[in-house]
Amino acid sequence: MLKTGLIGWRGMVGSVLIERMLSENNFRLIHPYFFSTSQAGSPNPLDISDRQPLMDAFDLSCLRGMDVIISCQGSGYTKQVYPELRGLGWAGYWIDAASALRSNNDAIIVLDPINRSVIDGGLESGIKNFIGGNCTVSLMLMGLGGLFKEDLVEWASSMTYQAASGAGSNNMRELITQMGRLEGSVSDLLNDPKSSILEIDRLTRECVASDTFPMTEWNQPLAGNLLPWIDSEVGNGQSREEYKNQAETNKILGRCNNPIALDGLCVRVGAMRSHSQAVTLKLRQDVPLDDVHVILANTSVWTRVVQNKKDASLAELTPAAVSGTLQVAVGRLRKMNMGGQYLSAFTVGDQLLWGAAEPLRRILEIIIEFES
């Protein structure tokens, strides 16, 4: 069995990964070792395997003993530890949720329902770095990948509505705290049906503007608000999140030499979990809408096409409907006023599952199969 080191299992992505590995019985296939950047030596709180105390995630001599390392710790950790480990001659498989290694030539971005042939080719050629994609990119491809696989997309523009959990566990906690603080600022007035809505509005705005409003993680109010910028600036007017759209989609599809133009605008909203995006696609030809439905339904067994009707959209095409499930819903499908080649779509999926943990869990299974 492959010795597999797990780092970052306490965080948002890591805890979903552990949950999925437990429900798919993956721990029977590996010898797991649990590492921590902050709690080395503490008892392992997870009821998995022989429950050795947590190992030090910065101890290169322990890490060197692993056949596979899965990190959900973040880019800072990867940038510090990965080069030192490889520098010592470590030749194991590095699986990572962070973006640090994604654009490297010796790394493959994993999303096997879309790019299994790229992954298989990489394994055969000795690639050892398998990195999960940007959550929004992976979800866009799990929703609309059929059109890309059939090479029907000339260009696409996506407008995202990204959930708080995309920024990590502490940000998710802070959003709930902000929501609670807002409710608390007007709870008496809410209980009085005769109270003035303008007074409620004024008090909530004052609450958000006060020095004591909790904003340690976001540095901004997210409750009752939205944030039209995600991640750092890349210098051309795009945010890093927006930059990843074209770069990672084409890398996943294995077409960096013949890229499809993709762009958009990424926005953080106060949803707890699951990223949504409205996508405008220019198709290479006027594909009938019924054919579009069939092509999209064939994207993967997890892709679910929702009829473009009000009731179905509100019931099935929301973060609340898909959170905690592996289904990626795609709907609001219609041809746009600009012409028959222009397709409008809306897609939503749990970014902690297909946008993060699930491709990592599945590449582990693929590696185990390849090595056996």
Binding site for ligand NAP (CB under 6 A): 8, 10-14, 36-38, 72-75, 97-98, 132, 135, 165-166, 168-170, 351-352, 355-356
Structure tokens at 18: 């552990």
Cβ closer to ligand NAP: 115 or 204?
115
Residue showing the smallest CB distance to ligand NAP in the complex: 11
Contact between 259 and 246 under an 8 Å Cβ cutoff? The reply is yes
88: left (phi over 0), alpha (psi -120 to 50) or beta: alpha
Contact between 282 and 155 under an 8 Å Cβ cutoff? The reply is yes
Smallest distance from the beta carbon of 240 to ligand NAP, in angstroms? 11
Return the closest-CA partner of residue 182 out of 201, 163, 197. 201
CA distances from residue 94 to 77, 114, 163, 339 in whole angstroms, order as listed: 13, 21, 27, 46
Does the active-site annotation cover 275? yes
Which of the following is catalytic: 72, 207, 275, 293?
A: 275
Smallest distance from the beta carbon of 11 to ligand NAP, in angstroms? 2
Cβ closer to ligand NAP: 179 or 186?
179
Does the active-site annotation cover 31? no
Smallest distance from the beta carbon of 301 to ligand NAP, in angstroms? 22
Smallest distance from the beta carbon of 323 to ligand NAP, in angstroms? 12
Smallest distance from the beta carbon of 40 to ligand NAP, in angstroms? 9
Cβ closer to ligand NAP: 12 or 63?
12
355 contacts: CB under 8 Å, gap ≥ 6: 133, 134, 135, 136, 138, 139, 166, 275, 349
Contact between 348 and 275 under an 8 Å Cβ cutoff? The reply is yes
Which of the following is catalytic: 72, 135, 207, 266?
A: 135
Q: Which residues are catalytic?
A: 135, 275
